Amino acid sequence: MSRYVIKFYKEGVLRYISHLDLLRLFKRSFKREGIRLQYSQGFNPHPKMSFAQPLSLGYSSTGEYIEFETTQPYPPEEIKEKMNRILPEGMGILSCEELPAAGKTLAAMTNAADYEISIPCPEGGNIDIIQLVSAYLSQKAITVLKHQRKSGKDVEIDMKPMIHDFAGFVDNNYIMLHCRLSAGSTANLSPELVLSSFCSHSRISYDRTEVNIKRKEIYFDS
C-alpha cells in the first residue's frame, strides 16, 4: 500500500464542477489509467482518496491537493504523466509526491490558503487602493455577520485574526486583492466574506458575477 499527494490546477469550464463531481472525475481518471486505488473495507467500499480543502464552485485554482492510497507502488512521475494524459482540458497535475504510509491527513494539516480576487474597477472612480486596504486593516476588529447553519442564527465574528495577509493593487482596470486566510478545520475564512466586508468598508460596489476568485496555494502545518 502506498500513499501519494498530487498538486493540481483547475480552471476554465472545470471551475463549474463541484467538489463531489471532482472526486468522481479523479476516481474515473485513476480507473482509466489503471492506477489501482486502495478501497475501504466494509459494506460500502469506497476508494481512499480525499482533498485537502474543498474548492467553491466557480473558483479557479493553481494549488489544489488530493491525497490517495494505491494497492501497489507507482513512481510518482508515472502517476503525474498518466493523469496529465487523461484529465480534461482545464485540469492538470503540477506535481506528485509519495507520502509516508501513516500520518495525519492533508485536511487535518491544512492551515491557510492564498487567494487572488479580481474585481473590475468602478467606472470613473479614482481608487487609492493602498490607502483603502490600510484603512480596512487598521480597524480594531473586522466584524462580520456569519450565518451559522447549525443554529440558523447570524452570529457576529471577528475576522481579523484569520486574515494573515491582505494587499491590494490596481492592474489593467481591475482591483486585485491578494490575501492569505485561515483555512482548515480549526479556523476557516471564506474569501467571499473578506471581499464583501472590504468592499462595503471601502464603499466599492461590485457585481458578484464579474468577480473572479482564484486559490493560489494551500499551506499545511509541518
Partner 1 sequence: MVLTNQLDKLLMKVEKPGRYTGGEWNSASKDLSGIKTRFGFAFPDTYEIGMSYLGLQIIYHILNKKDSVFCERIFAPAIDMEELMRKEGIPLFTLETKSPVKDMDILGFTLQYELSFSNLINMLDLSGIPFKSAERTKEHPFVAAGGPCAFNPEPLADIVDFFMLGDGEEILPEVCEAHESWKMSGREKEEFLKTLAQIPGIYVPKFYTPVYEENGTIRSIERNYEKAPLQIEKRIVEDLNTVDFPEHCIVPFIDTVHDRAVIEIFRGCTRGCRFCQAGMIYRPVRERSKDKIKEIAMSQIESTGHEELTILSLSTSDHSEIEPLVQELMGVCRENNVSLSLPSLRLDSFSFKVLEEIQGYKKSGLTFAPEAGTQRLRDVINKSITDQDIYHAMEKAIELGWSNIKLYFMVGLPTETFEDLDGIAEIARNITDLNYRITGKRGRFNVTISVSNFVPKAHTPFQWFPQDSAELFHKKHQYLKDKLKSIKGVTFQYHGTEVSYMEAVFARGDRRLSDTLIKAVELGCKFDGWREHFNYGLWIKALDETGIDPDFYACRVRSFEEVLPWDLIDSGVTKAFLLEENQNAVKGSQSVDCRRGCIGCGINQRVNCTMEGTL
CB of 186 to partner 1, least distance (A): 30
Closer to partner 1 by CB, 158 or 210: give it.
210
Distance of CA 96 to the CA centre of its chain: 18
- In angstroms, the CA 44 to CA 39 distance is 10
| Residues in a beta bridge with 194 | none
Which residues of this chain interact with partner 1, rule CB under 8 A? Answer: 12-14, 16-18, 20-21, 24-25, 27-32, 39, 43-44, 57-58, 88-90, 208-210
* 27 vs 164 by CB, closer to partner 1: 27
Least Å distance, CB 72 to partner 1, is 14
Residue type, 174: Y
- Least distance (Å) from partner 1 to the CB of residue 67? 19
Residue 54 or 90 with smaller CB distance to partner 1: 90
Q: How far is the CB of 218 from partner 1 (least distance, A)?
A: 23
Residue closer to partner 1, measured from CB, 30 or 166: 30
